Amino acid sequence: MQYVSTRGQAAPQSFSEILLGGLAPDGGLYLPAQYPQISGAELDAWRKLPYADLALQVLKKFATDIPEADLHALTRKTYTADVYRNVRAGEDAAQITPLRVLEEKNGTELILQALSNGPTLAFKDMAMQLLGHLFEYTLAKQDAELNIFGATSGDTGSAAEYAMRGKKGIRVFMLSPHKKMSAFQTAQMFSLQDPNIFNIAVEGVFDDCQDMVKAVSNDLEYKTRQKIGTVNSINWARVVAQVVYYIRGYLSATTSNEQKVSFTVPSGNFGNICAGHIARMMGVPIDKLVAATNENDVLDEFFRTGVYRVRKSAETYHTTSPSMDISKASNFERFIYDLLDRDGDRVRALFSKVEADGGFDLSGNPGSDGDEFKKIVQYGFLSGKSIHQDRLQTIRDVQAQYGVTIDTHTADGVKVAREYLTPGIPMIVLETALPAKFNETIQEALGRDAERPAGFENIESLPQRFDVMAPDLAQIKTYIARHTGL
């Protein structure tokens, strides 16, 4: 299996070659040259598989340059009940992503798929835990090391640190805005005592952190010498790992391949829902993929109008579903590439337009850049938007009707999913975080604290390990060099 760039000008690469990198050299994102297909017979055979073995079957279609026995060892290590143990009462941790039917009414079904039972209580663990094992495996083979440098406002940083802690050949340098994350998220990250994890609290806002990461990624000499890598949401292996739970969700909600399901996905960078698109391109009988956004509705606007208009950072709202507060969706280019029938030249032109003019228009209206919007329906995409009041109302309502507390991002998903329930087609909402992570809003909605999984009771009082630094690129580069010794 070879991987090509969405901008059409990079040499094809293997899975292992793109694993540790980020963007393709032409500025595009990597995708497989063709999507591997899943036959009906395979789907039948996969119905009974444990999650780790299903992950192997999917992964081996993409990672064709890694021996199957090694992939099997990696998926077995990653998807175990003791890693995904933060289940609710009545859920079976061994299922890894158990389904919970919230409602069956007039032939419609509303289902929650729990993706947040991993160590950091957000769905990012599903892919990041696999990435940690894949990185360690690949680095050991090459006798190489990697220094991951990233910026986080919460979920990504903690998922990366819990996936990479204690891994040989890997260090993590994670910038976060000093005193701007929730107490729970801060405690999750800063209480890690592993010597390969470095938390840097920057006296500034998230954009200051992000700018420094970008500056380093443009500094080729420093990046090469310090062996800097990233684990952001454009990483291809993360997308592949996410394809697995769409297939698991489909198989768990159906009994035959004649049936279809739909998914609603709380979306920000389009990474999660992009994996759903790929599952469908591989032949999984998915009816609709519904992108749910919060007040930052770049994606909802596109799926309603065909106009993609990125926001400036000053126009980005700080919301109570903060992991969806994005101004542009970094994985969106992968979908656009397919929508434009894989025409790399046009994708390159459109995304240069994003840089120059802040967007593009595929509505087909006079003066637009194309008319592919009419094909969106054929691809089965729908969207909707949820704002703070909807979020509070949905959290209350799901608690009152079904006795389940959901987090703020999942609430955006449930709110939008309810607009698209269809008889005969189960609607699965991906649960992207557990409510304990966003307790302030649970308090506001329900007037009480969210329940905490066992082991998290006193997390805020654990000793914390971090360094506070000014938003000064030179100082931060020196800090990294001092710790890597390179």
Ligand X SMILES: *Cc1c(COP(=O)(O)O)cnc(C)c1O
Residues that bind ligand X (CB under 6 A): 122, 124, 155, 233, 266-272, 323-324, 409, 432-433
User: Counting runs of H as helices and runs of E as strands, what totals does the chain give?
Assistant: 18, 15
Q: Which is nearer to ligand X, 78 or 272 (CB)?
A: 272
* DSSP structure class, residue 37: P
Catalytic residue among 60, 77, 124, 312: 124
- Provide the minimum distance between the beta carbon of 226 and ligand X in the complex, in angstroms, as a whole number: 27
Is 477 marked active-site?
Answer: no
- Provide the minimum distance between the beta carbon of 86 and ligand X in the complex, in angstroms, as a whole number: 14
Sign for the CA dihedral angle at 248, 249, 253, 258 comes to negative
- Provide the minimum distance between the beta carbon of 235 and ligand X in the complex, in angstroms, as a whole number: 11
Q: Which is nearer to ligand X, 266 or 426 (CB)?
A: 266
* Phi, psi for 368 (deg, rounded to 5): -80, 170
Tell me the three-class secondary structure of 47-112, residue by residue.
CCCCHHHHHHHHHHHHCCCCCHHHHHHHHHHHCCCCCCCCCCCCCCHHHCCCEEEEEEECCEEEEE
Q: Which is nearer to ligand X, 241 or 324 (CB)?
A: 324
CA distance 307 to 359: 8
| Cβ–Cβ < 8 Å for 306, 322 | no
- Provide the minimum distance between the beta carbon of 278 and ligand X in the complex, in angstroms, as a whole number: 13
CA distance 23 to 18: 9
- Comparing CA positions, the residue from 344, 358, 373 lying closest to residue 29 is 344
- Provide the minimum distance between the beta carbon of 302 and ligand X in the complex, in angstroms, as a whole number: 13
Give the pairing type, strands 261-266 and 30-32.
Answer: unpaired
CA distance 243 to 246: 5
Q: Which is nearer to ligand X, 109 or 431 (CB)?
A: 431
Q: Which amino acid is at 309?
A: R
Q: Which is nearer to ligand X, 6 or 153 (CB)?
A: 153
Q: Which is nearer to ligand X, 196 or 432 (CB)?
A: 432
Q: Which is nearer to ligand X, 71 or 433 (CB)?
A: 433
- Comparing CA positions, the residue from 151, 260, 164 lying closest to residue 211 is 151
- Provide the minimum distance between the beta carbon of 480 and ligand X in the complex, in angstroms, as a whole number: 25
* Torsion (CA) 125, 391, 321, 119 in degrees, nearest 10: -20
CA distance 77 to 199: 26
- Provide the minimum distance between the beta carbon of 442 and ligand X in the complex, in angstroms, as a whole number: 14
Tokens of 96: 């890894």
CA distance 249 to 447: 33
Instruction: Tell me the catalytic residues.
Output: 124
